[in-house]
Amino acid sequence: MASSGAEFVVIANRLPVDRDVLADGTVAWRKSPGGLVTALEPVMKSQGGAWIGWHGAPDETLEPFDDDGLHLVPVPLSSQEVEEYYEGFSNATLWPLYHDVVAPPAFRREWWDSYVAVNRRFAERAAEEAAQGAVVWVQDYQLQLVPTMLRELRPDLRIGFFLHIPFPPTELFQQLPWRRQILEGLLGADLVGFQLPGAAQNFVRLVRQRVGHKTHRDMVYLPDGRGVLAKAYPISIDAQGFEDLARSERVTRRAAEIRASLGNPRKVLLGIDRLDYTKGLRQRIRAFGELVRDGSVDLDDAVFVQVATPSRERVDQYRILRDDIDRLVGRINGDVGKIGQQPVQYLHASYPREEMAALYRAADVMVVTPLRDGMNLVAKEYVACRYDDQGALVLSEFAGAAAELKQAYLVNPYDINGTKAALLQAMEAGERENGKRMKAMRKHVMEHDIERWARTFLQELSEVGSHDKNPRPASVS
C-alpha cells in the first residue's frame, strides 16, 4: 500500500471524531472537543492525508472512512488495552510523572507491556497507510515508542513527533523504570518537538546521560549517522476562527444572556478546564472563596463560574478529585452564599465551541491556574475572543502559555495568598491597564496561530535529517 498511500499521515491516540447513533439507528460522526483536535484539524484539511487513531469504542474493528474532508483510519483497542495502555500506563504513569508528580505515578509492568503492544499496532498501521517517502507526524505521550517502531518498518519515511504535555526534568524522568526505552522510542523521529525550550533541553540531556549518544546543542547524533533535532514549538489555536465566532451575533447575544442569568454582577470570573488534578481547581476556588469570606469581594459584586469538563472518569484519582471539588464548592456556597446568590457557579459539563466563546465574552477575568500544563489553549482562546481589547487573564507561571502571554497577571497557584492578590488586582484594574495588557497578548496570539505552528514544524521536519544540511560539528559532547 505504501506506493499509493497517504503523503501526509497524522498518528494520535484518538481519531478527531466521536460517534453518534441517531434515532433511526444510523451512525453520524461529530468533531471531538479537545486541544489536539482543535490544533490539527485545519492542518489536516489544508495538507490532505490520513489520520490514524482509536475511534473510542473498545473491542470493535472499523474500516477506514472519510468524514468532513478527513480520511480516518481506526486502530482497534480491546477493553483490557484501554484499561492498561490508556488508563494505566498513559494516564496513571506518564501523565502524573510528566506533570511534576502532582499525583504519584504508578509503575506496573503489565501496563508497560500493553503500552508496547498498542504502540506497535499503531506503527504497523501507519507503515501500511503511508506512501513512499511520506511525512508522518506522531502526536503525544501515548505513542512515544511509535517513531522507532515505524522507522524500523519504513526507513523511507520522514517522521516527526510532538509532545503536547510537559517533559519532566531529569530527576523526575529517571524514576521511570522504562526510561531508556522511551528515549530510544522518541529517537526514531527526525524532529522531536516540545512546548518549551527547557523540555527540549531536558530530553537532549537525558539522551546524552542515559542512552550515551553524542549531542550538540539541540541535535542528537546517532551511531548510524542520522541526526535528531529536539526543539520547542509552542502550540497555538485557530485564533482568527475564535475571533470571528466571538464577533458573531449569536455569541454576542448569548454572552449578554449569561451575564443576565448571573444577575449582571460587576465582575464575572471564569475558569474552563478538564476536570484534572493538574489544573489547580481546588486552589483557585479556595482563593476566591476566601476573598468573599474575608470581605475583599462583595457577593453582590462578583461571581466565579467554573466549568469542569468530565475527564477520565474510570480512573480513581479523577473520581476522587470530582468528589473533592463537589464538597469544596458546596462548603463555600453554604458558608458565604445567600438565597439566590452563590459565589461559585460550578458546572461539571462539556460545552460546544460557540458556548465557550460566549463564556469568554461574558467573563471580565479569566482564571487559568494549572499546577503544571504543557501549554493551555484556553488562555489563548480567551485572548483571541477579546477583540474589544478588554478582560483580564490570571495565568499560572507553570502553564507553557506564560512564556508567551507575559502581560497576564502571573501567579504561583500553590500560593493561595498570591492568587487572591492577583484576582483582586485583575478585578480592580482599570480599562486602560487591562486594555494595554490584552492588546499586547492579542497581537502575539493572532500572529502566532495554529497555522504558523504547524507550518514551522513541518518546514523544519522537511529540512532536518539530511546529512549535508546537519553536518556533525567538530566538537560534540
| Model pLDDT for residues 210-250, shown as the tens digit of each residue | 999 999 999 999 999 999 999 999 999 989 999 999 999 99
C-alpha span between 346 and 363 (Å, rounded): 15
Q: What is the pLDDT of the chain when averaged over all its residues?
A: 92
Predicted pLDDT of residue 465: 58
Is there a domain that residue 231 lies in? yes
Average pLDDT over residues 16-42: 75
Residue 472 has pLDDT above 70, yes or no: no
**Using 50, 70 and 90 to split pLDDT, how confident is the model at 90?**
very high
Predicted pLDDT of residue 156: 96
C-alpha span between 384 and 244 (Å, rounded): 9
pLDDT in tens, 259-295: 999 999 999 999 999 999 999 999 999 999 999 999 9
Is there a domain that residue 476 lies in? no
* C-alpha distance from residue 55 to each of 23, 39, 339 (Å): 21, 18, 45
pLDDT in tens, 344-400: 999 999 898 999 999 999 999 999 999 999 999 999 999 999 999 999 999 999 999
> Which residue's C-alpha cell is 498513559?
90
281 in the same domain as 244? yes
> What are the start-end ranges of the E strands in 15-64?
17-21, 27-31, 50-54
* Type of residue found at 470: N
**Using 50, 70 and 90 to split pLDDT, how confident is the model at 36?**
low
Residue 471 has pLDDT above 60, yes or no: no
Predicted pLDDT of residue 249: 98
Is there a domain that residue 433 lies in? yes
Residue 118 has pLDDT above 90, yes or no: yes
- Which residue in 344, 261, 263 sits closest to 297, CA to CA? 344
Cβ neighbors of 320 (< 8 A, separation 6 or more) are none
Predicted pLDDT of residue 2: 47
- Report whether 448 contacts 404 (CB < 8 A): yes
295: left (phi over 0), alpha (psi -120 to 50) or beta: left
Choice among 23-37, 168-182, 311-325 with the minimum mean pLDDT: 23-37
400 in the same domain as 261? yes
C-alpha span between 43 and 223 (Å, rounded): 34
Choice among 25-34, 103-112, 243-252, 412-421 with the minimum mean pLDDT: 25-34
C-alpha span between 422 and 437 (Å, rounded): 14
212 in the same domain as 335? no
205 in the same domain as 56? yes
Predicted pLDDT of residue 467: 41
- Give the residue numbers spanning the domain of 421: 239-447
Is there a domain that residue 159 lies in? yes
Predicted pLDDT of residue 335: 87
Q: Judging by DSSP bridges, how do beta strands 267-274 and 158-162 pair with one another? A: unpaired
Is there a domain that residue 469 lies in? no
Is there a domain that residue 64 lies in? yes
- Which residue in 186, 201, 188, 189 sits closest to 232, CA to CA? 201
Cβ neighbors of 202 (< 8 A, separation 6 or more) are 167, 168, 169, 170, 173
309 in the same domain as 214? no
Residue 169 has pLDDT above 60, yes or no: yes
Q: Both ends of the chain: CA-CA distance in Å?
A: 42
- Report whether 167 contacts 116 (CB < 8 A): no
Residue 136 has pLDDT above 90, yes or no: yes
Answer positive or negative: Cα dihedral of 166, 172, 175, 177: positive
Residue 426 has pLDDT above 90, yes or no: yes
Predicted pLDDT of residue 38: 66
* C-alpha distance from residue 248 to each of 35, 186, 364 (Å): 22, 43, 19
Phi, psi for residue 122 in degrees, rounded to 5 = -65, -45
Torsion of CA 241, 243, 247, 250, to 10 degrees: 50
Cell triple for residue 143? 505513542
C-alpha span between 98 and 105 (Å, rounded): 9
22 three-state secondary structure: coil
Predicted pLDDT of residue 35: 55
Cell triple for residue 383? 485572548
396 three-state secondary structure: strand
For residue 216, the tally of other CB atoms under 10 A from its CB is 17
Predicted pLDDT of residue 414: 98
148 in the same domain as 46? yes
C-alpha span between 6 and 49 (Å, rounded): 5
331 in the same domain as 219? no
Supply the CATH number for residue 116's domain: 3.40.50.2000
273 HSE (CA, 13 A, CB side): 29
H helix runs in 154-262, sequence order:
170-173, 179-186, 197-206, 239-247, 249-261
Is there a domain that residue 468 lies in? no
60 HSE (CA, 13 A, CB side): 10
Is there a domain that residue 397 lies in? yes
How far from the centroid of its chain's Cα atoms is residue 171's Cα? 23
183 in the same domain as 135? yes
Predicted pLDDT of residue 34: 57
How far from the centroid of its chain's Cα atoms is residue 107's Cα? 23
81 HSE (CA, 13 A, CB side): 21
341 in the same domain as 208? no
Average pLDDT over residues 44-60: 88
Predicted pLDDT of residue 461: 96
What is residue 386's DSSP assignment? -
Choice among 41-55, 147-161, 220-234 with the minimum mean pLDDT: 41-55
Predicted pLDDT of residue 158: 97
Choice among 135-144, 262-271, 303-312 with the minimum mean pLDDT: 303-312
Predicted pLDDT of residue 468: 36
pTM for this structure? 0.94
Angle at 15 between CA 11 and CA 21, to 5 degrees: 165
- Which residue in 384, 371, 386 sits closest to 419, CA to CA? 371
Average pLDDT over residues 194-218: 96
Rg of the chain taking only CA atoms, in angstroms: 23
228 in the same domain as 276? no
How many domains in the chain?
A: 2
341 in the same domain as 253? yes
395 in the same domain as 254? yes
Average pLDDT over residues 23-52: 75
Residue 46 has pLDDT above 90, yes or no: no
